[in-house]
Copies of this chain bind each other. A is one copy, B any other.
Amino acid sequence: MKSKKSNFKMKSNPFFKKKTIVRINDILNILNLKKNSNNSIINDIKTLDFANKNDITFFHSIKYKNLLDKTKSNYILTTKKYSNLIPKKKNLIIVNNVLISVSKITKLIYPKSLDDNTDDNLSKLKLQNNYRNLKHGNNVLLGKNVLLGSNCYIGHNTIIESNVKIGNNCVIGSNVIIKNSIIGNDVRILDGAIIGKKGFGFFPSKDKNLRYPHIGMVIIGNNVEIGCNNTIDRGSLSNTMIGENTYLDNQIHIAHNVQIGKNCIITAQVGFAGSAKIGNKVMIGGQAGISGHLNIGNNVQIGGGSGVIKNIPDNSKVMGYPAKDIRSFIRESK
């Protein structure tokens, strides 16, 4: 996975079709801003860490100041409040609401990114298919551009929509739905899991909420196990990732942009809110919840039922709601 992961970072999202050419003035136009004299081509919209020179990016929280200082992007959206933090040599674009503007630009660059209907380009998998040593059940549906490695097994009634890549020796259970995902080797996805639907992101609005585009994927490393009835949403601009040899029990929810490291053990009914980042060798007990945008270090143990609402450093053992050092939790609850 290591080498491939870095590939994914470099490339644009392979699944959503970009508009042929987008220029900076097309963007300024949809944001109702004054045109630029130099109408350069904008290649993509990316987060600060993944953006290249010709990509547009955005800065909306002081939390990401260190990423701002290192971004390669020449075009940075932000609000007036943060405008003096943007390096002088960058093209500064001041807007009232950063995320709504990002949403508009994403929709411009990826016109189909708001469309999350079920794929209707599927066809029934037949035994005389072209995949190597594939075994499969009854009523399996496969979309266009699905890559399956050798020696895979797909259960009954499973739907693999267009644009999914699955490695070798994978076992996909019954009643599984997969879309917009890249899955490593030796992965097991158990019955009823739903992987790769758009995340729960939108701007609340009185009459009809404004939906946030989701052009990210779900990327699953080698030897991962995904439990029954899990729901793993794809990323909005970045990807949802699950590292090698991590095991997930049943009924787990993973929101958009969550990144889980390697060799983690996540017990049943745990929930991860959006953009949480989990290190390697993390163990999480049943029904624990991890709030959004948190960093959980390596070798962390989180007790069952915990509610984690702040960052947790490496090698910690925490429990409780809110989660605290496990010794304090046990002492105080006597």
Chain A residues in the interface with B (C-beta under 8 A):
117-118, 120, 122, 124, 135-139, 141, 153, 155-157, 159, 171, 173-175, 177, 186, 190-192, 194, 197, 200, 202, 204-209, 223, 227-229, 231, 233, 245, 247, 249-251, 253, 255, 263, 265, 267-269, 271, 273, 285-287, 289, 291, 304-305, 307, 309, 320-322, 324, 333
Determine the distance from Cα of A11 to Cα of B118 in the docked complex, in whole angstroms. Answer: 35
Minimum C-beta distance from A228 to chain B (A): 5
Copies of this chain in the oligomer? 3
Task: Please give me the 8 A-B residue pairs with the lowest Cβ-Cβ distance, nearest first.
Answer: A118-B155, A305-B307, A231-B250, A200-B249, A253-B268, A287-B289, A269-B271, A228-B231
Of B138, B159, B247, B324, which contacts A202 at CB under 8 A? B247
Given contacts A153-B117, A192-B177, A271-B268, contact A122 B138 (CB under 8 A): yes
Minimum C-beta distance from A295 to chain B (A): 17
Determine the distance from Cα of A307 to Cα of B287 in the docked complex, in whole angstroms. Answer: 9
Of B118, B191, B202, B228, which contacts A156 at CB under 8 A? B118
Given contacts A269-B253, A286-B273, A304-B273, contact A190 B186 (CB under 8 A): no
Residues of B within 8 A of A157 (CB): 139, 157, 159, 175
Determine the distance from Cα of A141 to Cα of B135 in the docked complex, in whole angstroms. Answer: 17
Residues of B within 8 A of A227 (CB): 200, 231
- A305–B286 touching, CB < 8 Å: no
Instruction: Beyond A118-B171, A206-B245, A305-B307, list 12 extra A-B contacts (CB 8 Å).
Output: A117-B153, A120-B135, A139-B139, A159-B175, A200-B249, A200-B267, A207-B245, A253-B286, A268-B271, A271-B286, A271-B287, A273-B285
Minimum C-beta distance from A112 to chain B (A): 15
- A268–B156 touching, CB < 8 Å: no
Residues of B within 8 A of A263 (CB): 204, 206
Pairs A–B under 8 Å by Cβ, sample size 12: A117-B171, A118-B171, A138-B141, A139-B139, A191-B194, A208-B223, A208-B245, A255-B268, A267-B273, A269-B269, A269-B271, A321-B321
Determine the distance from Cα of A204 to Cα of B243 in the docked complex, in whole angstroms. Answer: 14
Given contacts A231-B228, A287-B271, contact A124 B138 (CB under 8 A): yes
- A250–B118 touching, CB < 8 Å: no
Residues of B within 8 A of A289 (CB): 269, 286-287, 304-305
- A197–B208 touching, CB < 8 Å: no
Residues of B within 8 A of A265 (CB): 204
Given contacts A269-B253, A271-B268, contact A122 B156 (CB under 8 A): yes
Minimum C-beta distance from A233 to chain B (A): 7
In this complex, the member of A191, A255, A271, A289 whose beta carbon has the largest number of chain B beta carbons within 10 angstroms is A271
Residues of B within 8 A of A324 (CB): 333
Minimum C-beta distance from A274 to chain B (A): 9
Of B118, B137, B204, which contacts A137 at CB under 8 A? B118
What is the chain B residue whose CB lies nearest that of A206?
Answer: B263
Determine the distance from Cα of A304 to Cα of B122 in the docked complex, in whole angstroms. Answer: 38
